[in-house]
């Protein structure tokens, strides 16, 4: 029997100021190595930092030339003040003056297939994804996913502070929730199952239990087309809530959550934002335009008349966002009252105009990042709408139970993590905000 100590400091954060002028030992992987006549630099990748270590050839215990990028090493030395210009480095006001290096692991391969020691990863997207375990080690890639991690955490924590309960719903499901053909089929023992397109049914059922719930997890869409805004698997940030005043409640909660996310990014991801050359957005006003007004904006701005269309196309979303930026100085615009025919069956029609729904999309810098809205909550309304859409209510009986036995007025939203992160980081393709993207041709790594 052996009892392990529980008193150890397990955090990977380092109080650099407290170590100034003192001995420090760091274990990390070599991000970059520069061997010079007088010694050189070892750039060490740690869980939260990229630390510059400087070696004097006459003082260290081994020649730097024996090291390789991506080797894992234990570096001991003195932490000294520095003034580092390179924004990839963090911290920039301290460096380690190396006394000794111990190699803990050496790479098997001689050369990196993609050079992650350069300022930019100079390879095409496909190569970047083929070598994902390696290319993700590049500081710019790491920055994207540190930002994604913070966005993910704060989405949940902000909602939890508002009294939402986290749920985890099944991803193997008996039916699609969003309609359409973009659903993956799965053989499930003797029957057919599907991969969840969204947690829609479950988060609604859980409003009957908790009143306010959220979920963060993968969802699956069998999109056949290869576009810069679609993935076949993405992380959906979902919430669902009882409505007290109307579907505006949902937009107010979303704006508050986004505000918390952006403030936390500013506090915790300043180095990552600086490295990517972007600033955290702000959402101080909640600007809404109706779907009809959005079409009018497009007509006025471009002369394109899309008023007969039942959806906004990507070009229209860009025009509406440009207009919102110019007119109201905001990167965010909620487009409300989408046509009923284009929304899933569960959407609540506007009693004042039943051809439209009490729903919205949130557009951010030219692209839809969220869909949300109020849902039907009366059992009879579900039966009526399903009938009108040629759907068989019996196939949805397990979901409809919730409504049969009483549900409050409610609504919610789904926010695509990768789309939000891609827009924050200024990425041209949503796949770059996915660790291991899945598209029609890509199932590996």
Nearer to ligand AMO, 89 or 420 (CB): 420
Neighbours of 124 (CB within 10 A): 9
| Least CB distance to ligand AMO at residue 238 (A) | 6
- Shortest spacing between CB 241 and ligand AMO, in angstroms: 11
What separation, in Å, do the N-terminal and C-terminal C-alpha atoms of the chain show?
40
Q: Kindly state the smallest distance separating residue 240's Cβ from ligand AMO, in Å.
A: 7
Check: CB of residue 296 under 8 Å from CB of residue 250.
Answer: no
| DSSP 3-state of 193 | strand
Backbone angles phi, psi at 131, to 5 degrees: -105, 35
Distance of alpha carbon 426 from alpha carbon 280, whole angstroms:
11
**What is the rounded distance in angstroms from the CA atom of residue 348 to the CA atom of residue 19?**
59
**Do 315 and 284 meet the contact criterion of CB atoms below 8 Å apart?**
no
User: Alpha-carbon distance 59 to 44, whole Å?
Assistant: 19
Name the residue nearer to ligand AMO (CB basis): 221 or 295: 221
* Distance (Å, whole) CA 197 – CA 181: 11
The residues of the shown chain that bind ligand AMO, judged by CB under 6 A, are 178, 198, 200, 221, 223, 230-231, 234, 236, 238, 368-373, 412-414, 416, 418-419, 430
Which is nearer to ligand AMO, 68 or 442 (by Cβ)? 442
Rounded Cα distance, 227 and 429, in Å = 8
CA distance 134 to 138: 8
| Alpha helix positions (H), 179-281 | 200-210, 248-268, 270-276
Q: Is 370 exposed, middle or buried, given 0-12, 13-18 or 19+ CB atoms closer than 10 A? A: buried
- The CB-nearest residue to ligand AMO is 416
Least distance in angstroms from the C-beta of 8 to ligand AMO: 41
User: Would you say 40 or 373 has its CB closer to ligand AMO?
Assistant: 373
Q: How far apart are CA 333 and CA 60, in angstroms?
A: 58
CB of 173 to ligand AMO, least distance (A): 13
Q: In whole angstroms, how far apart are CA 104 and each of 70, 75, 224?
A: 11, 10, 45
**Shortest Cβ 27–ligand AMO spacing (Å):** 37
């Amino acid at each position: 029997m052996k009892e392990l100590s529980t008193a150890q400091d397990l955090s990977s954060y380092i109080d650099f100021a407290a170590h100034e002028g003192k001995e420090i030992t760091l274990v990390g992987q070599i991000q970059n190595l520069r061997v010079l006549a007088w010694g050189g630099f070892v750039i060490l990748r740690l869980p939260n930092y990229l630390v510059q270590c400087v070696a004097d050839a006459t003082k260290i215990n081994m020649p730097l030339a024996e090291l390789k990028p991506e080797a894992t090493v234990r570096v001991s030395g003195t932490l000294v003040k520095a003034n580092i210009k390179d924004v990839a480095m963090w911290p920039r006001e301290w460096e380690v003056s190396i006394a000794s290096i111990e190699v803990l692991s050496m790479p098997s391969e001689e050369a990196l297939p993609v050079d992650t020691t350069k300022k930019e990863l100079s390879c095409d997207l496909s190569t970047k994804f083929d070598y994902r375990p390696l290319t993700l080690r590049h500081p710019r890639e790491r920055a994207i996913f540190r930002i994604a991690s913070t966005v993910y955490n704060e989405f949940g924590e902000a909602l939890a502070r508002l009294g939402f309960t986290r749920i985890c719903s099944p991803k193997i499901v008996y039916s699609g929730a969003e309609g359409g053909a973009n659903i993956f089929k799965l053989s499930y023992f003797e029957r057919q199952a599907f991969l969840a397109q969204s947690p829609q049914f479950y988060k609604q059922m859980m409003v009957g239990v908790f009143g306010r719930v959220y979920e963060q997890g993968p969802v699956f869409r069998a999109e056949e087309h290869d576009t810069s805004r679609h993935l076949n698997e993405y992380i959906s940030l979902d919430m669902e809530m009882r409505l007290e005043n109307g579907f505006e409640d949902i937009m107010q909660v979303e704006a508050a959550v986004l505000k918390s996310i952006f403030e936390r990014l500013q506090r915790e991801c300043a180095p990552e934002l600086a490295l990517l050359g972007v600033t955290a957005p702000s959402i101080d006003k909640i600007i809404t335009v109706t779907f009809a007004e959005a079409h009018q904006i497009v007509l006025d701005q471009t002369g394109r008349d899309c008023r007969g269309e039942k959806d906004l196309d990507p070009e229209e979303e860009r025009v509406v966002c440009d207009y919102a930026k110019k007119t109201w100085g905001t990167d965010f615009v909620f487009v409300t009252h989408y046509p009923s025919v284009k929304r899933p069956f569960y959407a609540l029609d506007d009693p004042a105009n039943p051809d439209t729904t009490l729903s919205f999309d949130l557009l951010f810098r030219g692209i839809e990042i969220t869909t949300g809205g109020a849902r039907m909550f009366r059992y009879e309304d579900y039966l009526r709408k399903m009938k009108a859409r040629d759907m068989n209510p019996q196939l949805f009986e397990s979901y409809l139970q919730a409504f049969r036995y009483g549900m409050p007025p409610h609504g919610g939203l789904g926010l695509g993590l990768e789309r939000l992160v891609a827009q924050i980081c200024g990425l041209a393709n949503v796949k770059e905000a996915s660790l291991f993207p899945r598209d029609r041709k890509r199932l590996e790594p």
